[in-house]
């Protein structure tokens, strides 16, 4: 257990080549581990490519540690890993950089309108109705995005697209499969 911490990039999904680089084994070894360790089960997209989640990468790192460093047999490593996963819902992997979740969430203050810009309450409803009916938003000033916010939005959009693809592939895989009843 005295291994140096491996920094797993902040991504939702990893391709098999990326996982091979992180874990330090070849692809056929990972595919073999999938057959021996049921808890290591990456999802597959429509074309059959494996999509590893962060949890799968953590499990693969732990399997490698048990097999190569602690010298467990496959059966022994499987039992040990099952016990560890039952005891804790998260494997102990140290990240090199702490994740700051709040970095993208910043309060945006709108500029204070000039006093003459206020519309009396009587006319406010009429103005709102006009905007909703016409759908003309050209008069509304666009929100300026600095580079940090633009990068955050691009990152979020990419993650949402990955999630959508995962949901599509999962939905396609479950068509015709018996549905669970909870």
Contact 40, 78 (CB under 8 A): no
Q: Give the torsion through C-alpha atoms of 170, 171, 175, 178, to 10 deg.
A: 70
More confident position, 111 or 32:
32
Residue 105 token pair: 């969430």
- The Cα–Cα gap between 160 and 12 comes to 10
Nearest Cα residue to 30 out of 55, 64, 66: 64
pLDDT of residue 155 exceeding 90, the answer is no
Q: Is the pTM of this model over 0.85?
A: no
**Quick check: 156 pLDDT over 60?**
yes
Domains, the chain, ordered by start: 13-87 (1.10.1660.10), 101-174 (no CATH)
Tokens representing 62?
A: 């732990």
Q: Which comes out higher in pLDDT, residue 154 or 38?
A: 38
Read off the pLDDT of residues 55-106 as tens digits, 9 standing for 90 and up.
999 999 999 999 999 999 999 999 999 998 888 755 455 555 555 555 555 5
Structure confidence at residue 179 as a pLDDT band (50, 70, 90)? low
């Amino acid at each position: 257990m005295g291994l140096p911490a491996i920094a797993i990039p902040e991504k939702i999904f990893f391709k098999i080549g990326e996982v091979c680089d992180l874990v330090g084994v070849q692809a056929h070894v990972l595919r073999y581990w999938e057959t021996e360790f049921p808890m290591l089960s990456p999802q597959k997209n429509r074309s059959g490519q494996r999509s590893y989640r962060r949890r799968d990468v953590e499990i693969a790192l732990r399997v490698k540690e048990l097999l190569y460093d602690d010298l467990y047999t496959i059966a022994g490593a499987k039992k040990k890993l099952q016990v560890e996963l039952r005891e804790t819902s998260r494997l102990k992997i140290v990240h090199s950089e702490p994740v700051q979740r709040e970095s993208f969430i910043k309060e945006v203050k709108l500029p204070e309108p000039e006093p003459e810009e206020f519309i009396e309450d009587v006319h406010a409803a009429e103005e709102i109705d006009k905007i909703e009916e016409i759908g003309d938003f050209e008069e509304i000033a666009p929100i300026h995005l600095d580079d940090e916010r633009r990068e955050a939005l691009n990152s979020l959009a990419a993650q949402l697209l990955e999630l959508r693809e995962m949901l599509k592939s999962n939905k396609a895989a479950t068509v015709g499969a018996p549905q669970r009843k909870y």
